Structure 1
């Protein structure tokens, strides 16, 4: 009798899981509290799942949720939070977009990586030679080195695994390893209230710059060719942004730093645009001209400060001003389409296409922060998280919680508090 009861319970559990994962019937919003000893992450969560550890990153990939820990990766169903698969790995990153996205995993201090199906965890492609990998919406780029001066960059289609291009790059492999090591491009504006990778992978830029023994090797990603090698001066920093190579010069004089920016279009060296007096905040100390940071911004948009202390957003491709602020306004988030501007207790969403603010929100706090994603603007004000439509400011979700938003999808977001993960659906 006891064994028959266990068998019935198993069949019932499997049946409920299948119905929930296919969207036929989802009882989990009502019963998740029975299977967790902790309180709700946020009111109105569609489901909540207790994790096996503190996550390093979380991503929504199609109808799966990928959780990265220090030594493993797990997947859950987006519909009901049902565990799907797990794998041993020291790092994980997402490549591709929508239903074509994949999970890329690897081990630290070990060459190679694997490309996994996000729903099943099945290995689609594996590599045994690459030391570093970069993941984009439309490509996986890996770096393999056979010897000291024999390194090669190769780009693959995320879904099919077919090779897009391959190019020799000299000796750049000694300073780059694991997933998405830093390149000389723009430094994203981030906040501690939202995970750094909440926006997901970006499209692969038209030009990529790779550091190599004091110089930067520039790769044209359309043709897969090395188009230029640039060695900056002692008072300069190179950034590859918006299909241009930016040379930022900082000169110490009269107890301050004088900046200038010149943009070129490789392989040509002629000036496309230039700005005198534009500070891209590449030096941490205003009077110390040692530039040790990439310019702030978002993808092809650069955030600078003019000599009068006013912030300005610039198109990296042609040098146009996209937005010009006043001394009381701060840019808190930016991507290629929008910027979120804070002034006192108000946030406003500025559309570069419209050339104006398209929404405003009174947060009631002068320390409110925000993050831009393709599907929503995440605004954090104290213990309140609000998800807004980027183009109109329409409220998609508004909850009180101390959780941190890790991932945003088309229909909702993942918030994590401690070891508890919850899915907050958009209205």
Structure 2
């Protein structure tokens, strides 16, 4: 049999070689367009988004800051315009957080294992203030709080207006035995309940509370943020857990006996003394069982805690004065709570009801399916339905629908005029109706 290729085969080889040469010399390179077509995504919220952009990676967080959206990755922070999704700037940073709200918002960035941080303008990325000594920074809706420690272990806590150039106050906290670092390290306060398709930080940073609790090697130093003063140092016993909520220091005691745990809660106003106490109130700070070892903060808002009574009925308590804001029926459960509102799931699991603490009753009801969850923000109540996956943003006060869309995306942020949804490396802005 004769060997050799056919004319058609030679032409194919010649075409491939020519194609590669042209691509390498940038005379003609179709691969970016081909790759863009392969990786192109469809709309993540069809009919509901004002814009959608492809991000350069999977984000850790996305927060609305005035007229910008701040996207945090593991090694950088980016800013996008809220109006059209245009990328405004990027900065190399290992962490980022947003302090302030609206026109007063700023971006706080820093690097791991490096002291100090920068305060940037959300729209331009211009550095407004720099710090070179802080090891930990907390961003709030109305303040920035940082902790700086000298080599000898002596530490000081300072509070700043988000756009201020001088601290509002500085207080010595002594030596902090437990290392606090980077952005918003955990403090003994409350934790969100959590929801599928909704980021835990969707509500944004809270306002600076009246009292802060700084963990310190088994102790908790209580700082009055109005005047910048350490007012108490608490050393919990083995069976106790301390949380600082609603301007009160809550001491939860769980004692084992008869194969169960017996709980009590005491709320104090340091240094004045006891404000209220409740026996039999379980704030779910321990896992089920007889060990009673408390390893979690109570769930709730900044001034509201979620508990359960000895017969298993859930209740919401105002941490400030101990008032019962809501007392559930059997098998009802709270799926989301803030200082002003709560969302309660019915005993048959088919209805969410919104409740207002100020008005003292149900303000809206919404049918849901199995596995539905919810979150509350200052601007919207977000309901995540399943089968099919659907996101609704409702007015917390009335239940009016602000956004309703079928999507697999996760809601990362809610602002005054819309929400940010992310699916993989795609981000979209969904304005309210």
TM-score by length of 2: 0.89
Within a 5 Å distance, the mapping from 1:125-204 to structure 2 comes to 125-172=129-176, 174-204=178-208
1:351 aligns with 2:356: yes
Match of 2:393 among 350, 374, 387: 387
Q: Give yes or no for contact 2:196–2:373 (8 Å, CA) kept in 1.
A: no
Q: Give yes or no for contact 1:189–1:298 (8 Å, CA) kept in 2.
A: no
Separation in structure 2 between the aligned mates of residue 84 and residue 173 of structure 1, nearest angstrom: 41
1:266 aligns with 2:270: yes
By how many angstroms is 1:175 displaced? 2.0
SS at match of 2:45: coil
SS at match of 2:198: coil
How many residues are matched? Answer: 393
Query: 4+ residue stretches of structure 1 with deviation over 3 A?
Result: 33-36
Separation in structure 2 between the aligned mates of residue 302 and residue 407 of structure 1, nearest angstrom: 23
Within a 5 Å distance, the mapping from 1:201-212 to structure 2 comes to 201-212=205-216
Task: Report the equivalent of 1:50.
Answer: 54
By how many angstroms is 1:174 displaced? 3.8
Task: Report the equivalent of 2:14.
Answer: none
Task: Report the equivalent of 1:3.
Answer: none
Q: Give yes or no for contact 1:131–1:173 (8 Å, CA) kept in 2.
A: no
Distance 1:199 1:173, change over 3 A: farther
SS at match of 1:187: coil
1:396 aligns with 2:396: no
By how many angstroms is 1:63 displaced? 0.8
Task: Report the equivalent of 1:124.
Answer: 128
Match of 1:424 among 404, 426, 430: 430
Task: Report the equivalent of 1:336.
Answer: 339
Separation in structure 2 between the aligned mates of residue 165 and residue 285 of structure 1, nearest angstrom: 42
Q: Give yes or no for contact 2:177–2:217 (8 Å, CA) kept in 1.
A: no
Separation in structure 2 between the aligned mates of residue 161 and residue 202 of structure 1, nearest angstrom: 22
Separation in structure 2 between the aligned mates of residue 161 and residue 298 of structure 1, nearest angstrom: 31
By how many angstroms is 1:163 displaced? 1.0
Unpaired segments ≥5 residues, structure 2: 1-35
Distance 1:197 1:173, change over 3 A: farther
1:96 aligns with 2:100: yes
By how many angstroms is 1:149 displaced? 3.2
Separation in structure 2 between the aligned mates of residue 200 and residue 162 of structure 1, nearest angstrom: 25
Distance 1:415 1:251, change over 3 A: same
Match of 1:222 among 223, 226, 229: 226
1:300 aligns with 2:303: yes
Larger radius of gyration, structure 1 or 2?
2
Q: Give yes or no for contact 1:36–1:50 (8 Å, CA) kept in 2.
A: no
By how many angstroms is 1:170 displaced? 1.2
Separation in structure 1 between the aligned mates of residue 37 and residue 355 of structure 2, nearest angstrom: 44
